[in-house]
Structure 1
């Protein structure tokens, strides 16, 4: 089978490597540098702390593959609540995660203070700790997955913009002319929707912009942490912290890669309220994420010879090893090694593409 993969981010590179290892003839295109889109701007937090059985199974598989590749460094993931409503939600989440045999525990402010003295814990009303969580370096992930794909025989073509044309699928148009394939996989992040629209496929997909900053060095031992009440997160980043939030819906054609000054000020203020630290900003940026009406990805076949993988809701890097493997198995007719009803959850044809929804609205089910 000859397959084109459009998109050289982490998902596209996993698909390219997995297909090539199964003797497919694979060409992976990216309009820029490999990993130069959403992958390169990802936070790199990974955990299996999900209360939904399908989400938990997918995350478990993704973490297992990252460990197999030597890419995951261990770092607990903590999420905290500071009001009664959020506290009830956190406690219920931890209970459901434990029912799914996740290595997750309840915690309170006193326990967190003993473990992480730099945390401000007086206002914490409930917390959970995911012990099997970890961190990724997006640049290192891209380097290893690109090498893995090449070693398996895939051809990688960065700096090669492509287009699809009505009636010519599976044909990829590049500056040198059209190239025909048995199948085309589009895993191009926010560019996926317009690429498929040219092939008369409408996706229920929206784009939102998320922001992050890296602080100056801090002298503290901290976990990765999500504050459900103050609505921001951080993760250790070398001897600094990467702090993220500032999400809002945008057009994929009209956005800035620079973080907003208001986000930087707000993020540092919330970090100061949540810790005993007072760092400044070393650098900051913004990146794009994709969303669907039900906050589940769109992964699978959308037309004859045409496949899609998008709509990660910020979890693309985290779930890429499992989702790339799932798409590979679906394309080749192989059994997927995850014991969960993944296909129905991910079916990209479950929407007709005309849906109206808020990319940052409340989820229809609990993802944390």
Structure 2
């Protein structure tokens, strides 16, 4: 098959790589540089700590593929709660993860403090530790996936904006080309692209912010505070810190972080550690959300497929979901084919749904 992939982020490149390794002819179209969208602004957290068995299976598959590509850096992941309802949720999550065979353990605040003395555990009621978690370098992920895809025969065209004049017809500034199938993995731009051929998606964009501190002198894990709703991950000798998500118009937003976000995030790090870091750099990026928090990944019209709505977990899930999509496009089996189709079917909504992008209580703005 001759297949176009629209979008040169981690999901699009993972899909392209999986397609060419199944002997498809693949052209990737990216309007800017590879990884210039959500992938390049991702935090790079990567873990399998999900209580849902399907989510855990997808994450485990993705982690294994990242390890095979030598892109995965082990880094324990801790998540905590500071009040009764959040603490109950954390304990239930840990129990569910353990039933799924995920390598997690519950920690008392005392045990957490003993393991990570730089953490201030006062006020923490429940904590979990995911031992097999890690971190990714988003730029290295994009570069490696592109290199592997090109080596196996994919053509990658950057600086090439496209539109669709039919589900399988791609128009660039220079030409019109017809393919056997088209996969659109273009983040928020997926919605207007497929709308041109009569496909409506239940998709909204939100803006998420992050910063990198100056160097800190402390041994810390990756960390998520479910009550205060912020996270960090070690990045070299510094911390990458994030929160501050809010719904935006994807045609009218800024990639510069808000000053209030920077101040609030540094204050939260100080409250959780007694460290007093400064911000080295900060930014914002666009993520996509769906009404139920699960992605839209599948067939939407004759020859047309989409992959979007990752709720901040696109980079984390990319190699697993790319392989799943490639198998689906080519009508072949994949280890996830038994469980995923109904969960991620993009036609489970009609596209007219009214919802708030940030309503999902299970969200993590950290992928």
Class of the TM-score when normalised by the shorter of the 2 chains: over 0.9
1:308 — aligned with what? 306
- Distance (whole Å) between structure 2 residues aligned to residue 169 and residue 64 of structure 1: 33
1:119 — aligned with what? 119
2:102 — aligned with what? 102
- Distance (whole Å) between structure 2 residues aligned to residue 353 and residue 342 of structure 1: 20
Q: What's the TM-score once normalised by structure 2's chain length?
A: 0.98
Please list every run of 5 or more consecutive structure 1 residues that lacks an aligned counterpart in the other structure.
none
2:187 — aligned with what? 189
CA deviations over 1:250-296 (Å, ceiling 9, x no partner) = 01100000000010010011110000210000000000000000000
Change (3 A) 1:339 1:171: closer
The Cα shift of 1:366 comes to 8.1
The Cα shift of 1:367 comes to 7.8
- Distance (whole Å) between structure 2 residues aligned to residue 38 and residue 140 of structure 1: 14
2:240 — aligned with what? 242
The Cα shift of 1:68 comes to 0.7
Change (3 A) 1:9 1:330: same
* 14-23 or 308-317, larger mean C-alpha shift: 14-23
CA deviations over 1:164-200 (Å, ceiling 9, x no partner) = 12xx220000011201100000000010001011111
The number of residues matched between the two structures is 365
- Distance (whole Å) between structure 1 residues aligned to residue 318 and residue 346 of structure 2: 17
Q: Does the 8 Å CA contact 2:293/2:363 hold for their aligned counterparts?
A: no
Give the 4+ runs in structure 1 shifted more than 6 A: 365-368
- Distance (whole Å) between structure 1 residues aligned to residue 274 and residue 72 of structure 2: 28
Corresponding position: 1:338 with 2:336: yes
Corresponding position: 1:159 with 2:159: yes
2:253 — aligned with what? 255
2:280 — aligned with what? 282
Q: Does the 8 Å CA contact 1:54/1:340 hold for their aligned counterparts?
A: no
Superposition CA RMSD, Å: 1.2
2:91 — aligned with what? 91
- Distance (whole Å) between structure 1 residues aligned to residue 158 and residue 217 of structure 2: 40
| SS of equivalent residue, structure 1 residue 349 | helix
Q: Does the 8 Å CA contact 1:52/1:367 hold for their aligned counterparts?
A: no
1:10 — aligned with what? 10
2:78 — aligned with what? 78
Q: Does the 8 Å CA contact 1:53/1:340 hold for their aligned counterparts?
A: no
CA deviations over 1:321-363 (Å, ceiling 9, x no partner) = 1110110010111111237511110111000000000100134
Please list every run of 5 or more consecutive structure 2 residues that lacks an aligned counterpart in the other structure.
none
Q: What's the TM-score once normalised by structure 1's chain length?
A: 0.97
1:40 — aligned with what? 40
